[in-house]
Structure 1
Amino acid sequence: MSVFALLFLLSLSSAVTAAPKADLWPYWQTSNPNSATQVDHSAWQNLLNTYLLVAPEQTRFRYAAVSAKDKTSLNQYIAGLTSRDPRRLNRNEQFAYWVNLYNALTVKVILDHYPVSSITKLGGLFSFGPWDDKLVTIDGKKLSLNDIEHRILRPIWQDKRIHYVVNCASLGCPDLLPEVMHADRLNAQLDGAARRFINSPKGVDDQGGKVRLSSIYDWYQSDFGSLTDLQKHLNNYRKQPVTLTKPSYDYDWRLNEFR
């Protein structure tokens, strides 16, 4: 193996283990607390109703079945979101706006490149996935998926439950939820998503005290805190309490598809 190839493989390995830090993009911090505007996410909900299959431990998306008409509907939904200035919305509407946009964009990226075995196969030659690709323009600003998650959602809301509602089209990821985010019931939806993931084997797998956690808890340790903090967080949602001493971590990057 050449030195170049070795360095390339090492760079991919580090990309998996080193997640972006929360780095506020101040431009998007503005909101209008007096706004009563409600963003219509029904088109995205209709697509989820049609193509998302929900099972007890995993939701899967029927990418191969999406019709040309529904691909157009998805594109129009995204275009409608990106044509407005989310800074004019109140905080709850903003949160629903950004999460729904993130998830819709992720599905669009897969559909635009389907068939593909994993989202990590997308992006440029030296990229581990498409997260840094500038996918949309909002109010004259070009944004990537990483911008939405790590420069807007995480630093503005500072809520660890964000990790349970943004989906990366992978089996190891918290599920793509069957219901779009709604501004009037965000807290219940966030708690429900946390509870679903933390009680699934891909979130927390406790085999007689030998605990395997999702790599999310390793990558985003800055959000979840120490093992003591993490244990408290997990046990807030666990049906059976877990004790963390030296957990291992794992993540399944295979596409969350259903054929």
Structure 2
Amino acid sequence: MKFYLVLFTIFWSALIYAQPSHDIWNNLLKAHVSSNGNVDYQGIQNNTEDLENYISVLQNNMPTENWAKNEKLAYWINAYNALTIDLILRHYPINSIKELKKPWDQPLWHFGDKTMSLNDIEHKILRKMGEPRIHFAIVCASVSCPKLLNEAYTADAIEQQLSKATQEFLSDSSKNKISKDRLELSKIFKWFAKDFKANNSLRGFISLYSNVEIAPKAKISYLDYNWDLNE
């Protein structure tokens, strides 16, 4: 009897800790997203089966409370980006995600017994995890957004991936202009100011991921946001 109990415990533990494979998403990104983050929406639309299969994998393998933080981060970042592309393709061709009515509030996807929107994932899940770098990993399908990484986020690599995404976003002069005494920043830093000030000042956060030494009283302003589609 004890033998069967041990086998059941091992089997159940494997189910609890099982992680969904992000291979389909990784291959799709490598095939249809450039190193600059430009998305070939037409190419994905020509064969949406891979995207649909990946979303199904996510829906059937939701995180449990036993998952580690990095496992949850990778899952929900990948989910957000895959669902954003799915949203665009439902209406493609379009010039901007802003052409859609309340795009981030559309409850289009079923996860467990809930229908979820992009805002649900961003505000009710990811932001509550206390990791401000998620704002440079989730992508709103627009030119001024951080670039879409052309590989899947994974639990093992996510620390390096998030730091790289943050550093590349800050060093992109089309999105942020950073000098010692003046910071002309993406409006992402304005919209989510609370997230970046949680454990540090905004200037302090930027100093961590920029090669520029930021003056304590550097002037801060915000650039216009380009909502054109990131293709």
TM over 0.5: yes
Q: CA deviation at 1:72?
A: 1.4
- TM-aligned CA distance change 1:203 to 1:233, over 3 Å: farther
1:176 to 129, 144, 148: 148
Report what 1:254 is aligned to: 228
Separation in 2, partners of 1:159, 1:206: 22
Runs of 4+ residues over 4 Å off in structure 1: 207-210
- Residue identity (%): 36
Q: CA deviation at 1:46?
A: 1.0
> In 2, are the aligned partners of 1:202 and 1:251 still within 8 Å (CA)?
no
Separation in 2, partners of 1:104, 1:97: 11
Report what 2:124 is aligned to: 151
Aligned residue for 2:29, secondary structure, equals: helix
Q: CA deviation at 1:99?
A: 0.8
> In 2, are the aligned partners of 1:162 and 1:190 still within 8 Å (CA)?
yes
Separation in 2, partners of 1:67, 1:204: 32
Q: CA RMSD in A?
A: 2.1
Report what 2:64 is aligned to: 87
Q: Which has the larger radius of gyration?
A: 2
Separation in 2, partners of 1:232, 1:209: 13
Normalised TM-score (structure 1): 0.76
Aligned length in residues: 214
> Which residue identity does 1:76 align to in structure 2?
N
After superposition, residues 45-84 of structure 1 pair within 5 angstroms as: 45-55=26-36, 59-69=37-47, 71-84=48-61
Report what 1:215 is aligned to: 187
> In 1, are the aligned partners of 2:179 and 2:212 still within 8 Å (CA)?
no
Counterpart check, 1:241 vs 2:218: no
Separation in 2, partners of 1:85, 1:46: 21
- TM-aligned CA distance change 1:85 to 1:36, over 3 Å: closer
Counterpart check, 1:38 vs 2:26: no
Question: Gapped runs of 5+ residues in structure 1?
Answer: 1-31
> Which residue identity does 2:82 align to in structure 1?
A
Report what 2:87 is aligned to: 109
Normalised TM-score (structure 2): 0.85
> Which residue identity does 2:21 align to in structure 1?
D
Q: CA deviation at 1:67?
A: 4.9
Report what 1:190 is aligned to: 162
Q: CA deviation at 1:117?
A: 0.7
